[in-house]
């Protein structure tokens, strides 16, 4: 139907062109800015509607909008348009990863060994359980089972942060959710780098790539992150703390890091996470510690989740793969909840530890982007081999934010709903 309308519009336009010589050629592609604003409006409307009517987290609405209007369903957002919005999505993911990196306070682990053991238990159990499921039950070869585990073992930093912000949550369950999310993200990035090498070793006789590519990913991301963190601190130290100018410097250096990472083909999420972690650990003078990202990062986050929703391969859905994805998510959920309930981490009540486990269930943008990074190495094999984690992510895009919010509400750490403050955030 859309094609018919477009054909009619084109014919009418070309008729007019014969008489009105100033008219440009019929625009075949939507202008980037127009596309950006359309995604924003659509995501916003669906997100706000779901929030107001059903009380669902807005993120769910953004993903649903993307899925509905994306190539898999209505096709209003084409594959080309998706590629066009990728820099914006990268910037949004980058800023959120920067923020989660900044929240990674390793000094806390020094004060609280129980938390460290809980994190190790959660990371180890999650990876092992998912790997065994993907290998033993689904029947993937070990390399792809490891890739599936690397992609899905961690929680979703972007979702957890946005839900915490949206709910204005604060408290010990919230703090632990953020900490476990940051730590498991860090662990999954390490495993991801190793898996890149393993996949090369599996499909190529070229050992140089198997060794150098993981190093390129890790060292490249580390160098870019370190340089950008250094630049941010250097410039920001000359400005008043918490000033608007510092906010601009933080955002500008983060975007520079995103751009540089894209140019060097090192993962944006890893680079920005490392940049945040370096800022958290290396900012001895607390130059940027008190400087928050601008509220505007929500605008970018909406685009990110619309793009993620549109990027998921809904058209490849089969009942078998759906069941396998549900199985993977169940195994993952049990691993996370059991590890945290068992290992403690300083919360006295088991119920509250279980809530932390539920709160870190989301699986989202980072997983999808990681899956596409690995799948991109050998596209003909990778895409089908990674459909399991991609579908798991697809299911969790919709249920993860709800679970995260549920945990925060049950922990009593969210602010009372104040509709007068409802807006973009």
Partner 1 sequence: MSQPIAEFKQSQPLTLGVELELQLLSVRDFDLTRGATDLLGSMDYDGRFGEIKLEITESMIEVSTLPRTLVDGIAADLVGLRQALVNQCARNHIAVCGGGTHPFHRWSERRICPGDRFDEIYHRYGYLAKQFTVFGQHIHVGCSSGDDAIWLTQALGAYVPVFIALSASSPFVDGEDTLFQSARLNAVSAFPLSGQCPALRDWAEFIEHFSLLQACGIARSIKDLYWDIRPKPEFGTVEIRICDTPLTVERAAALAALAQSLVRRLLRTRPVLNTQRQLHVARYNKFQACRYGFDAQISDPIGLRQVPLRQIARELLAALAEDARELGCCAWLELLDASLASEISDARWLRRRQAIHGNLNDVVREAAMRFGKNGGMNFAEETR
Residues that bind partner 1 (CB under 8 A): 103, 105, 108, 111-112, 114, 168, 170-173, 175, 179, 240-242, 286, 289-290, 346-349, 352, 412-413, 415
We find the least distance from the C-beta atom of residue 143 to partner 1, in angstroms, to be: 38
Choice between 109 and 230, CB closer to partner 1: 109
We find the least distance from the C-beta atom of residue 228 to partner 1, in angstroms, to be: 21
Dig out the tokens for 358 from the structure: 């539920």
We find the least distance from the C-beta atom of residue 256 to partner 1, in angstroms, to be: 24
Q: Distance between CA 318 and CA 322 in Å, rounded?
A: 6
CB 305 within 8 A of CB 56: no
We find the least distance from the C-beta atom of residue 351 to partner 1, in angstroms, to be: 11
Of the candidates 392, 334, 402, 398, the one whose C-alpha atom is nearest the C-alpha of residue 368 is: 392
From first CA to last CA, the distance across the chain in angstroms is 35
Choice between 122 and 413, CB closer to partner 1: 413
We find the least distance from the C-beta atom of residue 349 to partner 1, in angstroms, to be: 7
Choice between 111 and 238, CB closer to partner 1: 111
Residues 6+ apart with CB under 8 A from 326: 395
Choice between 2 and 349, CB closer to partner 1: 349
Choice between 115 and 328, CB closer to partner 1: 115
We find the least distance from the C-beta atom of residue 243 to partner 1, in angstroms, to be: 9
Q: How many residues does the chain have?
A: 425
Of the candidates 282, 273, 388, the one whose C-alpha atom is nearest the C-alpha of residue 332 is: 388
Residues 6+ apart with CB under 8 A from 289: 280, 283
Choice between 332 and 353, CB closer to partner 1: 353
- Going from the C-alpha of 291 to that of each of 228, 273, 285, 425, the distances in angstroms are 16, 17, 13, 18
Q: Find the helix packing angle between 79-102 and 244-264, rounded to 10°.
A: 120
């Amino acid at each position: 139907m859309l094609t018919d309308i477009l054909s009619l519009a084109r014919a009418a336009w070309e008729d007019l062109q014969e008489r009105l010589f100033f008219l440009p050629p019929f625009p075949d592609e939507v202008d980037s800015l127009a596309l950006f604003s359309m995604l924003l409006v659509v995501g916003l409307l669906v997100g706000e509607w779901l929030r107001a009517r059903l009380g669902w987290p807005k993120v769910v609405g953004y993903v649903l909008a993307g899925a509905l209007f994306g190539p898999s369903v209505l096709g209003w957002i084409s594959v080309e348009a998706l590629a066009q919005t990728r820099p914006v999505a990268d910037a949004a993911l980058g800023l959120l990863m920067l923020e989660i990196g900044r929240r990674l306070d390793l000094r806390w682990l020094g004060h609280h060994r129980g938390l460290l053991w809980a994190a190790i238990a959660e990371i180890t159990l999650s990876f092992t359980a998912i790997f065994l499921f993907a290998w033993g039950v689904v029947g993937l070869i070990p390399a792809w089972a490891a890739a599936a585990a690397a992609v899905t073992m961690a929680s979703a930093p972007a979702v957890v942060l946005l839900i915490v912000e949206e709910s204005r949550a604060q408290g010990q369950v919230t703090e632990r959710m953020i900490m476990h999310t940051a730590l498991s993200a860090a662990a999954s990035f390490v495993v991801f780098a190793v898996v890149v090498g393993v996949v090369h070793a599996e499909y190529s006789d070229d050992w140089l790539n198997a060794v150098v590519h993981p190093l390129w990913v890790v060292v490249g991301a580390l160098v870019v992150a370190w340089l950008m963190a250094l630049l941010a601190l250097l410039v920001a130290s000359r400005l008043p703390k918490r000033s608007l100018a510092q906010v601009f410097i933080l955002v500008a250096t983060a975007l520079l890091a995103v751009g540089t990472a894209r140019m060097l083909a090192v993962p944006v999420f890893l680079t920005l996470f490392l940049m945040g972690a370096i800022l958290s650990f290396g900012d001895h003078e607390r130059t940027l510690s008190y400087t928050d990202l601008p509220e505007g990062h929500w605008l970018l986050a909406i685009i990110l989740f619309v793009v993620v929703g549109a990027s998921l391969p809904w058209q490849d859905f089969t009942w078998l793969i759906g069941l396998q994805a549900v199985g993977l998510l169940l195994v993952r959920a049990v691993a996370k909840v059991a590890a945290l309930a068992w290992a403690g981490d300083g919360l006295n009540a088991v119920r509250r530890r279980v809530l932390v486990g539920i709160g870190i269930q989301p699986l989202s943008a980072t997983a999808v982007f990681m899956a596409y990074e690995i799948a991109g190495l050998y596209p003909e094999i990778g895409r089908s081999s990674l459909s399991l984690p991609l579908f798991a992510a697809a299911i969790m895009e919709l249920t993860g934010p709800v679970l995260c919010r549920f945990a925060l509400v049950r922990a009593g750490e969210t602010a009372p709903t104040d509709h007068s403050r409802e807006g973009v955030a």
